[in-house]
Amino acid sequence: MTSQSALFDTYNRAPLGVERGEGCWLHDTDGRTFLDFGSGIAVNALGHAHPHLVSALTAQAGKLWHTSNLYRIPDQERLAERLCAATFADRVFFTNSGAEAVECAVKTARRYYYAKGEPERIGIITFEGAFHGRTLATIAAGGQAKYLEGFGPKAPGFDQVPFHDMDALEAAITDETAAILIEPVQGEGGLRPVPDETLRALREICDTHGLLLIFDEIQCGMGRTGRLFAHEHAGIAPDIMATAKALGGGFPVGACLATEEAASGMVPGVHGTTYGGNPLAMAVGNAVLDVMLEDGFLDAVEQKALRLKQGLVSLVDRFPDIFSDVRGKGLMTGLKCVVPNTDVVRALFDGHMLVVPAGDNVIRILPPLIVSDEEIGEGLARLEAAARGLSSRTGA
């Protein structure tokens, strides 16, 4: 069906005109209310219209919107310092989106070797099922045919290996390899967590071969798995990391974090952005951190994740004709479906609950991290109702 609007026809949009939201709830222009367990694809980590974020944004809106990066932006320096204090990193570059944060990560890695006199080292090893964004370089990094098709030659320098094959990985390393790039929990690819021991093995391989390790924590970072960043569960750190989505709680902002060493090639003039890290984005990013770094916030995420997971396991047990597996980590969770995942998404939509489809026939259940126990119960009840409806249709 061709859409009637003047927009590019690149989205198959659900019949829902968004109007306003609060917390886990989204109201549409027809007066309907939806339980939003998609969080705008893991972005609205603090729910809709969180009072602290609203006041930070509106206060900043009355002061200063934009200056460019030709001048010092004190809140940008502050957010960078806070992110570094909370992570492995020493340096931060702010962007407007996730894809730009990955682009910056790739450029940082290549530039590191260039500055060391090894300009031939441009290769980035990535993994099947990965998703790193929709720019020309990040579709090459993701390597998925459906995103590459029709957009000209694939950007060179990205080599993809199977998800769980360390031998293939070792075999792909050459004298021209610069880095390994991986999502600690694959999002789009179907909520596949990389086992902690694999992440530790990747760190070791990078150390052995003198490669940089890059994590794409755009979706799994910023509290989603119960730690500020998902790799913390494995007790290792990357050299470079991209994050975005929940960092702005809905305001567009991304960041590339790096160690002092890894960032050493990024000297004045080699990279830039007009908007990245502007005062509005930085006010909101600092406000998001205020909430997430509060004592007990991340522990509460783990508690809620446990409650949700128990409910999901029970759904898999009771509706084996609809669901086959619980996927994910923390509140980055979901269900592998037996029936087409789009049928489940539609049945939930009809029950006024929003979730997000993913690859591998999975539905992503990504509630705001501030979700209450009652709202988790409500979500499970709506999932059960949808499963019951689908189950009677499949005749099981």
Smallest gap, in angstroms, from Cβ of residue 243 to ligand PLP?
9
Smallest gap, in angstroms, from Cβ of residue 256 to ligand PLP?
12
Select from 36, 216, 232, 375 the one that contacts ligand PLP (CB under 6 A).
Answer: 216
Task: Give the range of 19-27, 93-101, 204-212, 294-302 binding ligand PLP by CB under 6 A.
Answer: 93-101
Residue 382 binds ligand PLP, judged by CB under 6 A: no
Residue 132 binds ligand PLP, judged by CB under 6 A: yes
Amino acid at 263: A
Task: Give the range of 125-133, 261-269, 331-339, 374-382 binding ligand PLP by CB under 6 A.
Answer: 125-133
- Which residue number, 287 or 332, has a Cβ lying nearer to ligand PLP? 332
Q: Are the beta carbons of 396 and 321 closer than 8 angstroms?
A: yes
Which residue is catalytic, options 88, 216, 239, 336? 216
Is residue 28 among the annotated active site residues? no
Number of residues that bind ligand PLP (CB under 6 A): 14
Site for ligand PLP in 164-193 (CB under 6 A): 183, 187
Is residue 165 among the annotated active site residues? no
Smallest gap, in angstroms, from Cβ of residue 237 to ligand PLP?
18
- Which residue number, 253 or 298, has a Cβ lying nearer to ligand PLP? 253
Is residue 9 among the annotated active site residues? no
Q: By Cβ distance, which residue is nearest to ligand PLP? A: 98
Which residue is catalytic, options 107, 245, 329, 336? 245
Task: Give the range of 31-39, 158-166, 213-221, 387-395 binding ligand PLP by CB under 6 A.
Answer: 213-221
Retrieve residue 74's tokens.
């004190």
Select from 39, 76, 87, 97 the one that contacts ligand PLP (CB under 6 A).
Answer: 97
Site for ligand PLP in 228-247 (CB under 6 A): 244-245
Smallest gap, in angstroms, from Cβ of residue 133 to ligand PLP?
4
Which residue is catalytic, options 34, 88, 94, 131? 131
Q: Give catalytic residue positions.
A: 131, 216, 245
Residues that bind ligand PLP (CB under 6 A): 97-99, 102, 131-133, 183, 187, 216, 218-219, 244-245
